[in-house]
Amino acid sequence: MSINKRLGVESLLVTLLFTLGFMAWNVVQGMLMTLNHTPEMMHTDSSTSTLQSRVAFGSIARWDMTSILIAAVGFLLLAAAYYGLRSGIQRWTQRS
C-alpha cells in the first residue's frame, strides 16, 4: 500500500481549513451575541458592588501538555479520516 502524497497534503489542508473555519464561526457568533445583547437596566443601581464581582467575560483557557496532545491527536485523526474517505472514493470511482 502506497501513500498518496498529494492526497495527504490535501487532507492536512482541508483539516486545517475546517478547524480555522470552526474557530472563525465561534468568533462571529460571539460578536453577534455581543451586538444583540441588551442588558437589564432595572435595579442596577442598587447592587453595583455585587454585580462587579459576579460578571465574567469568557473563560481563561490554560493550555498544558495534555490539552496540546489531545488537540494534535484530534487534528491528525480528522486528517486521517478525510484521507481514508477520499482514497476510498477514488478507488471506488476508478473501479466503476
pLDDT at position 60 is: 73
pLDDT at position 53 is: 57
pLDDT at position 43 is: 59
- Higher pLDDT residue, 9 or 38? 9
DSSP class per residue in 21-83 = HHHHHHHHHHHHHHHH-----TT-SSSHHHHHHH---S-PPP--HHHHHHHHHHHHHHHHHHH
pLDDT at position 45 is: 60
Tell me the C-alpha distance between 89 and 86, whole Å: 5
Give per-residue pLDDT as tens, 67-89: 899 999 999 999 999 999 999 99
Give per-residue pLDDT as tens, 17-66: 999 999 999 999 989 988 887 777 665 665 555 555 555 667 777 789 99
> Cα–Cα–Cα angle for 12, 14, 17, nearest 5°?
110
pLDDT at position 36 is: 86
